[in-house]
């Protein structure tokens, strides 16, 4: 009933805010939003895809610090993440997968993060975050079957020197400082530098010791150089670094943490460390007939984490896990000049783009589980070290893509796109015991994968402010090798999906209201599911389990009824189920719900701004984010009921200084956003982590 009530509310919201057609032309309008959801800059209302853009203004107003904090602003968007920053996986419309083979790839300044361990970053000098839903493989290639998260940085200022320092302080000993500076150097260059430092205590207490477990400690920087050697040409270098030295996972028995939130009991307290370094080179230029865009990306990250693998007070099992990844990507793209399509004939214009993409990725993992005497078997009365895995996986691939859009009479757009991808994968996978109580498993293998991804889209502008569109596109997720898996399951195949979508995007009330609605149907096969290894606690691997269907709708409304008031609302409804004949872990899961797919997501909020005088402006913001019920596992044995989170923020801003107070999860709602099957050690059969509790604090800053 709740999604129906929200849908009725949204349907009433648009006409309520549309105002009288006979009134004076409004002088207040919503700002224009430009996105690069299809690689080319375009008005968000003109692209035939579902995309939610979180601008730098919204990032500041909502106090968004990491990518997943922005997810509640996009319908049918969920991040499944543990306390460890490296384990953060986006899911759109029921589509998701493992960190090593994501279904939604995050792009940072045009560079794909081929492993999601490097995608959940602190936001420094970020201009916009785009949640682009639906298969993007025709343009972006592998592992964009569900969509992309597109993050772009603010360019250095070429006109004057600007800067800011912000210092939030809050509950749980939270303290932080972020600063940035940017400005021109000579007439054809500009630089910027941003840095931050954060610390907080953990939310979760280990009742065995009284210590908090899931603390955070991070340092992050970003430096940029922008060169404009000639008109219509620019070169940009971006370097970023993040260092995290965090506490342990906050995992505990699901039944226990629901009864006593943020309380767990264990004999071993570990840590989760991560280091990320990224360098991006970008060259853009445009002439009368053609534009060129070349992006080179280097990403290197490494992690180390240690944890109590049994998550009980008993000294049964611990795990130490080390991972390292080095990736190189290169894309060269040619396109028609921006805002200058080619005339094909009278009243028919062509906008085109095409290019080539290359990537190379080297991934290594060494994980050792230390098991106490008798844990493996009553016949083994001594401790055993289980190395699972010692692995190296190297991938190399190339993609060639093209897309063209014909515009007829400035009203109808016909878009056709096609991409071919080919990649090879080589793996060395070792699993063994110390002492050698059983034979070692050694796998050396290689494989190759190829795919063709088509796209068809049609858009029609019924009025200058209203466009209807329909699209059909095929996405794919690459096959590959699991670092560790059940014998015979080391390799997995590609996953494919056809996605059909129709929608309407409109601007109403002379620019005061922006609304969009979409319906979608997804049909995918070769479904890759992240399934638990029954013989290794806490270890998962990818398996092709069958097929699935997902269908639903999305509505987004933003309005500015008064120069001091912005209101916004979203609603997403998804029904995603495994198809008949699908099995997982040897069990039939036909018609079961796909894990981590809420029945609905919804958001209602407002931003208020009021000038007290010419120098001081006060503001306030409130957001109520709702999530429907969802399941934790493919067998649908456990799940999370529907819940809502209320965030509030308010303060005052002068010309150079500001101060504000904020509270997240203001009603202190207890919920468990993520849990995994854990038979044997967990009495309930699952372990999970509580969602973020109520947190509050103040922030102050200086800008110039």
Query: CA 257, CA 162: separation in Å to the nearest integer?
Result: 47
* C-alpha angle 21-23-28 in degrees, rounded to nearest 5: 95
- The pLDDT of residue 191 is 97
| Single pTM value for the model | 0.93
Instruction: Check pLDDT > 50 for residue 14.
Output: no
For every residue of 324-378, which 3-state class applies, written as one string? EEEEEEEEEEEECCCCCCEEEECCEEEEEEEEEEEEEEEEEEEEEEEECCCCCCC
Q: What is the DSSP secondary structure assignment for residue 214, as one 8-state letter?
A: -
Instruction: Check pLDDT > 70 for residue 10.
Output: no
Q: What average pLDDT does the segment 591-615 reach?
A: 94
Instruction: Check pLDDT > 90 for residue 339.
Output: no
The whole-chain average pLDDT of the chain stands at 92
Instruction: Check pLDDT > 70 for residue 224.
Output: yes
Q: Are 154 and 126 in contact (CB under 8 A)?
A: yes
Query: CA 417, CA 408: separation in Å to the nearest integer?
Result: 18
- Residues of the chain with pLDDT > 70: what percent? 96
Query: CA 1, CA 190: separation in Å to the nearest integer?
Result: 54
Query: CA 132, CA 130: separation in Å to the nearest integer?
Result: 6
Domains in the chain, CATH or no CATH each: 2-18+34-703 (2.40.170.20)
Q: Are 498 and 520 in contact (CB under 8 A)?
A: no
- The pLDDT of residue 269 is 96
Q: Are 47 and 101 in contact (CB under 8 A)?
A: no
- The pLDDT of residue 461 is 95
Q: Quickly count: other Cβ atoms within 10 Å of residue 377's Cβ.
A: 10
Q: Are 391 and 351 in contact (CB under 8 A)?
A: no
- The pLDDT of residue 83 is 81
Q: Which residue has the higher pLDDT, 99 or 661?
A: 661
With H, G, I as helix, E, B as strand and everything else as coil, classify residue 15. helix
What does the block give as tokens for 398? 């190339």
CA atoms within 13 A on the CB side of 672: 27
Q: Which of 155, 140, 127, 159 has the alpha carbon at shortest distance from 53?
A: 127
What's the start-to-end Cα distance of the chain, in Å? 49
Type and span of the H or E element at 393: strand 384-408
Return the residue matching tokens 């530098």. Answer: 193
- The pLDDT of residue 475 is 92
With H, G, I as helix, E, B as strand and everything else as coil, classify residue 77. strand
Query: CA 404, CA 334: separation in Å to the nearest integer?
Result: 12
User: pLDDT of 184-212, one tens digit each?
Assistant: 998 899 999 999 999 999 999 999 999 99
Q: Which of 360, 379, 483 has the alpha carbon at shortest distance from 437?
A: 379
- The pLDDT of residue 539 is 83
Instruction: Check pLDDT > 80 for residue 359.
Output: yes
Query: CA 94, CA 15: separation in Å to the nearest integer?
Result: 31
Beta bridge partner(s), residue 553: 519, 573
Among 98-102, 111-115, 127-131, 453-457, the minimum mean pLDDT is found in: 98-102
């Amino acid at each position: 009933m709740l999604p129906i009530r929200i849908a009725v509310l949204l349907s009433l919201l648009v006409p309520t805010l549309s105002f009288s057609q006979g009134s004076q032309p409004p002088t207040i309008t919503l700002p224009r939003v430009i996105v690069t959801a299809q690689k080319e800059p375009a008005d968000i209302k003109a692209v035939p895809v579902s995309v939610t853009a979180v601008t730098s203004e919204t990032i500041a107003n909502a106090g968004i610090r990491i990518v997943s904090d922005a997810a509640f602003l996009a319908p049918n968007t969920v991040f499944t993440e543990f306390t460890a920053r490296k384990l953060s996986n986006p899911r759109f419309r029921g589509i998701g997968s493992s960190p090593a083979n994501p279904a939604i790839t995050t792009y940072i300044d045009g560079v794909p993060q081929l492993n999601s361990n490097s995608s959940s970053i602190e936001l420094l000098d970020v201009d916009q975050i785009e949640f682009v839903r639906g298969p993007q493989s025709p343009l972006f290639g592998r592992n964009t079957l569900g969509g992309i998260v597109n993050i772009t940085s603010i360019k250095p200022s070429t006109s004057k020197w600007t800067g800011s320092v912000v210092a939030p302080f809050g509950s749980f000993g939270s303290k932080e400082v972020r600063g940035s500076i940017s400005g021109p150097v000579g007439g054809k260059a500009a630089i910027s530098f941003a840095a931050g430092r954060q610390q907080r205590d953990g939310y979760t207490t280990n009742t065995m010791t009284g210590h908090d477990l899931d603390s955070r400690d991070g340092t992050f920087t970003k430096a940029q150089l922008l060169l404009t050697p000639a008109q219509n040409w620019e070169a940009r270098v971006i370097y970023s670094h993040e260092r995290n030295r965090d506490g342990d996972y906050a995992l505990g028995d699901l039944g226990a943490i629901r009864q006593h939130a943020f309380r767990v009991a264990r004999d071993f307290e570990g840590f989760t460390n991560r280091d990320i370094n990224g360098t991006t080179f970008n060259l853009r230029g445009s002439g009368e007939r053609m534009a060129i865009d070349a992006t080179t990306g280097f990403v290197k990250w490494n992690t180390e984490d240690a944890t109590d693998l049994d998550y009980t007070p008993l000294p049964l099992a611990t795990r130490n896990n080390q991972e390292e990844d080095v990736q190189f990507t290169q894309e060269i793209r040619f396109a028609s000049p921006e805002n200058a399509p080619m005339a094909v004939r009278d009243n028919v214009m062509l906008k085109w783009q095409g290019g080539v993409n290359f990537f190379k990725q080297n991934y290594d993992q060494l994980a050792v589980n230390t098991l106490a005497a008798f844990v493996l078997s009553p016949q083994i009365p001594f401790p055993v070290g289980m190395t699972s895995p010692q692995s190296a996986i190297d991938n190399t691939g190339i993609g060639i893509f093209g897309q063209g859009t014909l515009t007829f009479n400035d009203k109808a757009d016909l878009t056709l796109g096609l991409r071919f991808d080919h990649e090879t994968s080589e793996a060395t996978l070792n699993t063994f015991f110390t002492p050698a109580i059983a034979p070692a498993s050694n796998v050396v293998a290689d494989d190759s994968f190829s795919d063709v991804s088509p796209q068809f889209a049609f858009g029609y502008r019924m009025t200058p402010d209203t466009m209807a569109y329909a699209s059909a596109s095929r996405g794919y997720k690459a096959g590959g090798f699991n670092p560790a898996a059940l014998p015979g399951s080391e390799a997995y195949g590609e996953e494919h999906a056809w996605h059909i979508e129709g929608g309407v995007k409109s601007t109403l009330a002379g620019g005061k209201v922006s609304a969009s609605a979409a319906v979608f149907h997804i049909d995918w096969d070769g479904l890759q599911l992240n399934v638990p290894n029954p013989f290794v606690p806490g270890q998962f691997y990818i398996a092709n389990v069958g097929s699935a269907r997902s269908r639903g709708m999305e509505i987004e409304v933003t309005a500015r009824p008064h120069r001091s008031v912005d209101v916004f609302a979203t609603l997403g409804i998804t029904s995603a189920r495994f198809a008949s004949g699908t099995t997982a872990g040897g069990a039939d899961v036909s018609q079961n719900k796909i894990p981590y797919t809420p029945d609905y997501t919804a958001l209602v909020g407002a931003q208020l701004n009021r000038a007290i005088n010419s120098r001081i402006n006060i503001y306030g913001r409130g957001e109520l984010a709702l999530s429907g019920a969802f399941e934790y596992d493919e067998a649908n044995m456990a799940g999370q009921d529907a819940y809502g989170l209320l965030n509030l923020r308010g303060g005052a801003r002068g010309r150079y200084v500001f101060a504000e107070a904020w509270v997240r999860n203001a009603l202190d709602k207890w919920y468990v956003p993520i849990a995994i099957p854990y038979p044997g050690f967990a009495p309930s059969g699952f372990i999970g982590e509580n969602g973020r509790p109520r947190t509050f604090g103040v922030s102050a800053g200086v800008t110039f």
